[in-house]
A and B are shown apart, each in its own frame.
Chain A
Amino acid sequence: MTLAARPGELAALSSLAAFAAGRRRQAVLAVVGVTLLCLVLAIVATGQGAVQIAPARVAEILMAKLSGQDELLTGRDALVVLNIRLPRVLLAMLIGAALAISGALMQGLFRNPLADPGLVGVSAGAGLAAATTIVLGDRLLAGTGFKLPFAALPVGAFCGGLVSTLALYLIATRQGRTSVATMLLAGVALGALAGSLTGLLAFISDDRQLRDLTFWSLGSLGGASWAKLVIVAPIVLPLLFAVPLLARGLNALMLGEAEAYHLGLPVQRIKGLAILLVALAVGASVATAGVIGFVGIVVPHLIRLAIGPDHRLLLPLSALGGATLLVGADIAARLIVAPAELPIGIVTAAVGAPFFLWLLLRRANHVDL
């Protein structure tokens, strides 16, 4: 599938390109800046934590691992760096990138700056499935002698996200055409329905399950492990590289759906693909880390403010920005109340909500997308 605009085809697109060219300096700065920030934060995140380990010792452990000197990797420090922190930093980067790029994708698709992955019902569907596993899982298996498998919750959440997205897509698609407006409204309706069912489950849950539900819905990277990374990375990494292929299509969509269609773009395919990618990315991240709010909505806006609305830059930079934000937020979540740990959703929302308000106030006299 080629989504690239043919040469000389679009006056509008080329003016957009010129607009982007005018921002090239800013873009280069942004790419270099965010990459550096992300690297610095990743290094800090690997070096810092509740367990005090000297930077030299961390470097020594990492070097020993890289050079295969496993005999140096015994003891608590090595376990903490290699099995707790490192997978956690990588998972934070993957999930942050997935959430932010999904947000950018949604905002482009809906041509609505308020869109975020939660809007298409992925989070709500995943949340409902997770609540079902937490509350009903043990009851359904009571007396059978089986215990709920460890992976039931993440797998359930992932499937819940996919199923709700599929339902939404089917509702919004008539005769091979997906109406983005119907999708938005149906997403709200399905989200409310899933929310109500989740509320019902919360009602019949016991105290223990209610606490689990609450903490799950606040998100945490605390469960990071190499095993989880091995499951999530093959889903998210290809997406991160596939999504930027939609950039030109999303740029054209900014002119309007009909216009993009008449320009010869496979609009329906772009929409379908975008929804599928978002469902996979968000489903995978919700399944591993619970619901982490605001990354999807805040990061693309920040990037757009810095480098403008060209999706060719916006999408990859959003991914990078999301990774940076989540690694940073996770450092805060781990360190603020150490040796305890804050749910990361609290940190991202605490940063995201004031920013979001500022954005709304700013939009009152200055519209940008």
Chain B
Amino acid sequence: MVGRNALLAPAARRVNRRELGAALALTLIAAIDLTSPASFVTRSFAQTPERIVAAGGVITEVLYALGLQDRLVGVDSTSQFPAEALKDKPNIGYVRALSAEGVLSLKPSLVMAITSAGPPDAISLLNEAGVRLARIPDDMSADGVVTKIEAIGAVAGAVEPARRLAAQTKARFDELATLRTALPAKRRVLFVLSLQNGRTMVGGRNSSADAIIDLAGGINAAAAVEGYKPMTDEAIIAAAPDAILMMRNSGNHDTATEALFALPAFSQTPAAAQRAHIVMDGLYLLGFGPRTPAAARDLMAALYPNVAIPPLKTAAAP
């Protein structure tokens, strides 16, 4: 298929480049994991009460926040926070392309997987193997984050710490809501996922970027499109964003503010006039875990530089 397309079908070739990119990235991630001797260390600790495999970065993040990292015996490749997770634990691969035997090889007594984890074949094999399997819904809203933390704690047998973390997170979200009410006229934010070959990929409605912009008290300037989609230069000008939001290290090579606003599409926006270019860590921004209230608060502070936005008062960790 790859060869045929490369020879014959230019239209399909572009798709294949993306596939190849994904493949390369995967191979690279895998290679890095293999070369790190630490990834095998945890296997020798067989006496922990529960052996948990986490499939979904947010699950790993919450388990670490609850202090349960010693029980974690495997994480998926999206578990990039905290950074030591992927360094210390074996990597079971991308959350939607898990291998049943790979997961079983870690002898888990509990597999916690977000609802989008898959493929279904692997999940049903895990079920057959008699491993306790818990699905955690990955809802991208304030309430969703709170429910998620409680659910993870309940499954992991850490109800009380999870309840505390959830309550604190909820309090932080409530504080954030109060901050939102104090904002002046809402500003329009355009989330740019990537800028490649002049093609601008933006975060439309029902995307994680849309959810965080909403939490930070902004208006998604790309709400006309659904999900992450390319947007034309003209549409970007018409969307008239007051600020451009981007992720650090997302293949954008940290696009410099000057370079960004020199682009025809962006030079005509209100954002260019104010040099409003916000760059944040992608996982922090879009992770939808316990750090989300802080991320939304930081985004809010960057978005409304003329408004005094205090740091959240409620403590972050239980």
Interface residues of A (CB under 8 A from B): 49-52, 76, 79-80, 83-85, 114, 116, 118-119, 123-124, 127, 150, 188, 191-192, 195-196, 198-199, 202-203, 205-208, 211-212, 214-215, 217-218, 220, 222-225, 291, 293-294, 297, 334, 336-343, 345-346, 349, 352-353, 356
Contacts and interface: CB of A to CB of B under 8 A. Distances in A.
Nearest to A114: B7
Given A191-B4, A207-B228, A208-B116, A340 B92 contact: yes
Interface string B74-103: 100100000000000011111011111111
A356 B7 CA distance: 12
Interface string B113-144: 00010111110010011000000000000000
Nearest to B138: A208
B229 to A, nearest CB: 7
Given A207-B228, A334-B99, A339-B93, A199 B15 contact: yes
Given A80-B129, A196-B11, A346-B27, 20 more contacts: A50-B99, A51-B105, A80-B101, A127-B1, A192-B11, A195-B12, A199-B15, A206-B227, A214-B18, A217-B15, A218-B22, A222-B100, A222-B121, A223-B122, A294-B3, A339-B99, A339-B101, A340-B99, A343-B26, A352-B3
Contacts of B128: 79, 83
A116 B3 contact: yes
Contacts of B106: 339
Contact of B99 (A52, A202, A222, A346): A222
Contacts of A337: 26-27, 30-31, 33-34, 91, 93
B96 A222 contact: no
The 3 closest A-B pairs by CB, nearest first: A340-B93, A339-B102, A195-B12
Contact of A340 (B4, B15, B30): B30
Contacts of A342: 26-27, 30
Contacts of B207: 207
Contacts of B105: 49-52, 338-339
A123 B14 CA distance: 17
A341 B26 CA distance: 10
B235 interface: no
Contacts of B237: none
A192 B9 contact: yes
Nearest to B116: A208
Contacts of B2: 293-294, 345, 349, 353
Contacts of B226: 206
Nearest to A294: B3
A352 B1 CA distance: 11
Contact of B1 (A49, A51, A118, A203): A118
A340 B74 CA distance: 10
Contacts of B104: 50-51, 76, 79-80, 84
A334 B226 CA distance: 36
Nearest to A84: B101
A242 B121 CA distance: 31
A198 B14 CA distance: 12
B15 A215 contact: no
Given A80-B101, A334-B99, A353 B77 contact: no
A203 B8 CA distance: 22
Contacts of B206: 206
Contacts of A85: 101
